[in-house]
Structure 1
Amino acid sequence: MTEKDAWTLSLVVPVMNEEEAIDPFLSAIDDTLNDVAPQLEILFIDDGSTDGTAQALTAAAQRDSRVRWLRLTRNFGKEAAMSAGIDHAVGDAVVPMDVDLQDPPELIHEFVRKWRDEGYDMVYGVRGSRHEDTRSKRTSAGLFYSFFNRLSTTTIPSNAGDYRLIDRRIVEALRQLPERSRFMKGLFSWPGYRSVGVYYDRPARQVGSSKFNFWKLWNFALDGLVSFSTWPLRVWSYIGGVVALLSFVYILILITRVLIFGSEVPGYASLMTAILFFGGMQLISIGVLGEYISRLFIEAKQRPLYLIEHDSGAARKPIAQTRPAAKAGAS
């Protein structure tokens, strides 16, 4: 095997209370990815699990030397866990993916082909259909992608999740980004480089249940918008200007009416309407300012993004595959 062919692929798999999903995931990897790369690393990140996930990962690492796992000291969130995996993966290409097999492993063959043969630095999966999601989730996701791309200078592909292949030079670029409020879809797109999407139908989750609920998804979307756009701050300048203009016009109307018809006692309804309107506007604008100030507060403290309690094999290299390596192409 030449040096050009001796490359490594790392799978980065964040898990939290996924004890039952570990073995089915590894079985699926064995069935579909035995010949995908000369060397394969399967890196799990245990994000503060409270079930038997750690024991399942320990057993998996003992019987399969390709498996390595990190245990974080507590639950830091999926974005932090994924960042930990990307920071510690050793591969020339890195593929973040979910353990529930909604990211079909067989698609990695196409990822690798476009990376190796066509020279793309990033190959991301695009969900061709989302039949497993509810209508409300599909609608809200579509609105989010549209809204985000209109407001942000960093464009993220619609219906593209975290499932993708990332070249080592993008990995090194991501490791230079120090922010604590992580929105990985935006961070993946920020470095640029050549990228292409691969469409696939996302299957239903096979084991366990999703750890995301509506509230977590809402906060996730809010983090993404605030992290990659200053529009929520800027828009209040325009709103303030419009309200000031309307107020000035209203003042002219009142003065004109007084000059023509004489003074009149203002009504209770109009007074309360004005108070409630401007009070509501002020509270909303203060809330937007608070979102940005809270992130400045978090960044200013410079706390680490995550803490690692255990690394099952920091110095161990992934083993070579038993089947022939993939044909080398453009890099």
Structure 2
Amino acid sequence: MSIKVSVVVPVFNEEDVLPLFEDRLRPVLDALGIPYEVLAVDDGSRDATPAVLEGMRFRWPELRVVRLRRNSGHQNALTAGLHRARGEYVVSIDVDLQDPPEVIAEMLRLAEAEGLDVVHGVRADRSSDTPFKRWTAGAYYRLVRRVVGANVPADAGDFRMLSRRAVDALIGLPEHGPVYRLLVPWLGLPSGEVTYARQPRAAGRSKYPLAKMMRLALDSITGFSAAPLRLATWLGCAGIALCVLLGLGVLAAYWWGDVVPGWSSMLVVLVFLGALQLLCLGLLGEYVARIFTTLQGRPAYVVAFDSEMLATR
């Protein structure tokens, strides 16, 4: 029997929340009355997550466990799930239950009724997040919409439904280190939105601390825009213009005979120019690093175990 809906769930050190996730997701999918599968991609968990997933798999026949050999990151774990999903529609959702599984039924109805290839889950209410989280998330979406384009839905993370055509298009892209919240809108496929209230994390701790959020923002910008390189050019031009003005000021002071030892001003100028050069080199280095990683040709993830392969033996 062909599978109608595949649900891809990246998992990393989530032993506490997995039973709660099963209690919420399974009734929703069973109520749809259609063939489905759930792909739990274990991204190299180091706690009891593998054991919990094995227990879930024996009592939930539709659950399929894919285990990666090492922690490859949320987006790469999502890639592993997308590459193995067999459903006519594929839903990606996090396991922390901040994105309610009950919305999946609404996504499916909208996709089928309007013939959509993409249905984004958009967070209309983020009151459950901390003020700092709301501020940083708002700054991220404002930045990427300004740099990448306004086609990126505001407050849409990785909770979405994709048609088989959309999934095949993503798989066919030679993308290394994808950021799906930007890559999916880039496809330009017919899309819609379903809004929901973001809920508090059901259990455990967030796997996206500030450092990872900053890394995501940097990957989003360098992977989809050359604006930082142009920023380096404009900063260089501004530095040159400032040096010219300072030079003119020095000449005017010399002409009027108002010359005093100015080691402090010279130090400020040197520090400013040095910082400007380091900033430009850093921006260039980010792009060179992406080129280097792509040329290496190493896989973004390595699968150690797939329960589907065991079932077919």
Q: How does 1:308-323 map to 2 (within 5 A)?
A: 308-314=303-309
* Greater percentage in helix: 2
- Does residue 218 of the first structure (1) align with residue 218 of the second (2)? no
Residue aligning to 1:326: none
2:6 to 10, 17, 38: 10
Q: How does 1:34-53 map to 2 (within 5 A)?
A: 34-36=30-32, 38-53=34-49
Residue aligning to 2:102: 106
Counterpart of 1:123, as a letter, is V
CA displacement, residues 235-277 of structure 1 (integer Å, 9 cap, x when unaligned): 1212222222232233334334434x24734411211111111
1:132 to 128, 150, 154: 128
What secondary structure is seen at the aligned counterpart in 1 of 2:293?
A: helix
TM-score using structure 2 length? 0.93
Residue aligning to 2:170: 174
The answer on whether the counterparts of 2:92 and 2:158 sit within 8 Å (CA) in structure 1 is yes
Residue aligning to 1:269: 264
CA distance in 1, matches of 2:179, 2:212: 13
The answer on whether the counterparts of 2:120 and 2:194 sit within 8 Å (CA) in structure 1 is yes
CA distance in 2, matches of 1:24, 1:34: 16
Residue aligning to 2:92: 96
> Cα offset for 1:66?
0.8
CA distance in 1, matches of 2:302, 2:176: 13
Q: Gaps spanning 5+ residues in structure 2: where?
A: none
Counterpart of 2:237, as a letter, is G
Residue aligning to 1:122: 118
CA displacement, residues 45-79 of structure 1 (integer Å, 9 cap, x when unaligned): 01111222222222222222211110000111111
Q: Gaps spanning 5+ residues in structure 1: where?
A: 318-331
Residue aligning to 1:299: 294
The answer on whether the counterparts of 1:42 and 1:67 sit within 8 Å (CA) in structure 2 is yes
Counterpart of 2:30, as a letter, is N
Give the structure, 1 or 2, with the largest relative contact order (CA under 8 Å, sep 6 or more). Answer: 1
Give aligned-pair identity as a percent: 38
Aligned residue pairs, count: 312
> Cα offset for 1:81?
0.4
TM-score using structure 1 length? 0.88
> Cα offset for 1:37?
5.2
Counterpart of 1:294, as a letter, is A
